[in-house]
Structure 1
Amino acid sequence: MPEGDTVWNTARALHRTLVGGRLTASDFRVPRLATTDLTGATVLDSASRGKHLLLRLRHGDQALTLHSHLRMDGAWRAYGPGERWAARPAHLIRVVLRTAEAVAVGYHLHDLALVPTVEEDSLVGHLGPDLLGPDWDATEATRRLVADPGREIAEALLDQRTLAGIGNLYKCELLFLRGVSPWTPVGAVPDPRGMVDLAHRLLAANRGRWTQSSTGSLRRGETSYVYGRRAQPCRRCGTAIRKREQGERVTYWCPRCQVVPDAATRSDPVS
């Protein structure tokens, strides 16, 4: 499940594979770009913005950006010339970019768009501060987080317009580490700046590796406190971890370690 750090890692992998190379062929397998031919384009940069990937190119006298979003199931894979593409079934391929040294294949990508680089903001300008971006701004992220005090904190954290990069895994883990129930109204969350700062540290700690851990352990089955651990004992108090739908996603939490403050107007679900 791609989150900000996974997308950051993917951007760096594409940077190593493509940047500096000249495309010898391109193959877009989505209707809106089906006739696009980027042959001869030079790949200038590969960057992430929250959960968005931006591949910047120079094609003739044009500076272009190829935008993609991984959502829940997208992925980019790099192969050597002649290497078998074995990552996923061929019908999931959305784009193929070839250089003399490598092939980059995008599987099940979403929101594919090719725009002039000067128009990137039309695709990512709505995003909040990027947790892994060079221009990370904790003060602005906190301001956005507390802007709607009646909103449930779990929903606010997932809103990429608030701060860009948090997915369901980090949402659950962050709230456990802060001892906050996912159903707490934002206005009742103690120290929202501390929440934002911890989110930044969590993603930064996992940047550069594919195994995500909030516990400090990279061993199988030991990487999370609550995420994916329904009915298993809490690592702090032993209470069974619970799982429940919240909005369009599922939430994992410990009902003992994460309690809605008395001042909140909403109650913690009992099941």
Structure 2
Amino acid sequence: MPEGDTVLQTARRLDTALSGRVLTAFDLRVPRFATADLTGSLVLEVTARGKHLLTRFEGGLTLHSHLRMEGAWRVYGPGERPRGGPAHQIRAVLGNSERTAVGYRLPVVELLRTEDEERAVGHLGPDLLGADWDPDTALRNLLADPGRRIADALLDQRNLAGIGNVYMCELCFMARATPWLPVGELAPPVPALLVSTAKQLLEANRDRPMRTTTGATAALARNRSRERLFVYGRAGRPCMRCGTLIRVAERDDLPTYWCPGCQSGPTG
């Protein structure tokens, strides 16, 4: 599940390749929009909203796409052969005289009026990397259902937009709570620290080619190890805080990592 920083970096790459240029190629390989043709249109901008990508064109149209688990956008130069997957996985092609952007395995591809973008992204909570960020609203959203598991509350994009499975696991570790603990059982000021640290982490990684959480969280974790992540992807390796072996379990088809020594709460 891509994180908000990854989606923002994708938006930047697409914006650099497409914005201010006229399309010489436009192909949406999804049944509903297969006949749409914006060849000759000017691309105004590509922007991210949470984990959603919005490509805006002159004339008031927007291409809305979402990566979810398997999707990806790749940008190629003139004469460069697309290599992001077999041709049957291509869902969108946007090209100009200098660059071609190809969307692979995109589960969401839709063309809509720019004025109707809220229909696609209006349900999202405050964007951790967006101009609409509001920590107070994010905190209220997070605590609106006290009986909900922390993991589910953090991953619900209606609460705050941009957290994926990696950050969820890391944030729970920093809070010393298992992902299965009801969010209402977190004692103040831990919920507020979850929100502020989530913002800190995504901001710190928005310009990095390789994500890290261990070097940007001194307020909640004193360990200065060179390891990039505290728990995610480290199953069977010792915790950097207490030495207990990190564990992993499947939670709603997602791998969930935690330290049994440091994190308190239910484990399933």
Q: TM-score, normalised by structure 2?
A: 0.93
CA distance in 2, matches of 1:29, 1:89: 14
Structure 1, residues 115-135: CA drift from partner, whole Å, max 9, x if none?
A: 000000000000111010012
Alignment map for 1:246-257 (pairs within 5 Å): 246-257=251-262
Alignment of 1:54 with 2:59, yes or no, is no
CA distance in 1, matches of 2:234, 2:157: 25
Structure 1, residues 158-207: CA drift from partner, whole Å, max 9, x if none?
A: 11111111110000011111212211111111221111000010111100
Q: Is the 8 A contact 1:95 1:107 kept in 2?
A: yes
Alignment correspondent of 2:91: 94
Alignment map for 1:106-185 (pairs within 5 Å): 106-185=103-182
Structure 1, residues 246-268: CA drift from partner, whole Å, max 9, x if none?
A: 234221000111112xxxxxx34
Deviation at 1:70, TM superposition (A): 0.3
**SS of residue matched to 1:53:** strand
Q: What value does the CA root-mean-square deviation take over the aligned residues?
A: 1.4
Q: Is the 8 A contact 1:63 1:117 kept in 2?
A: yes
**SS of residue matched to 2:91:** strand
**SS of residue matched to 1:161:** coil
Structure 1, residues 123-160: CA drift from partner, whole Å, max 9, x if none?
A: 00001110100121110000000000000111110111
Q: Is the 8 A contact 1:155 1:247 kept in 2?
A: no
1:5 counterpart letter in structure 2: D
CA distance in 1, matches of 2:69, 2:267: 27
- The unaligned stretches of length 5 or more in structure 2 are 217-225
Q: Is the 8 A contact 1:6 1:210 kept in 2?
A: no
Q: Is the 8 A contact 1:96 1:104 kept in 2?
A: yes
Alignment correspondent of 1:206: 205
Structure 1, residues 68-93: CA drift from partner, whole Å, max 9, x if none?
A: 00001111111111111123222211
CA distance in 1, matches of 2:99, 2:259: 46
Moved over 6 A (4+): none
Match for residue 78 of structure 1 among 75, 80, 104: 75
Alignment correspondent of 2:223: none
Structure 1, residues 17-56: CA drift from partner, whole Å, max 9, x if none?
A: 0000000121111111111101111100111011100000
Alignment correspondent of 1:225: 230
Alignment of 1:243 with 2:248, yes or no, is yes
1:179 counterpart letter in structure 2: R
CA distance in 1, matches of 2:36, 2:162: 30
1:197 counterpart letter in structure 2: S
Alignment correspondent of 2:4: 4
Alignment of 1:258 with 2:255, yes or no, is no
CA distance in 2, matches of 1:242, 1:3: 22
CA distance in 1, matches of 2:200, 2:78: 38
Alignment correspondent of 1:215: 214
CA distance in 2, matches of 1:248, 1:153: 16
CA distance in 1, matches of 2:152, 2:107: 22
Q: TM-score, normalised by structure 1?
A: 0.92
**SS of residue matched to 2:60:** strand
**SS of residue matched to 1:101:** coil
Q: Identity of paired residues, percent?
A: 58
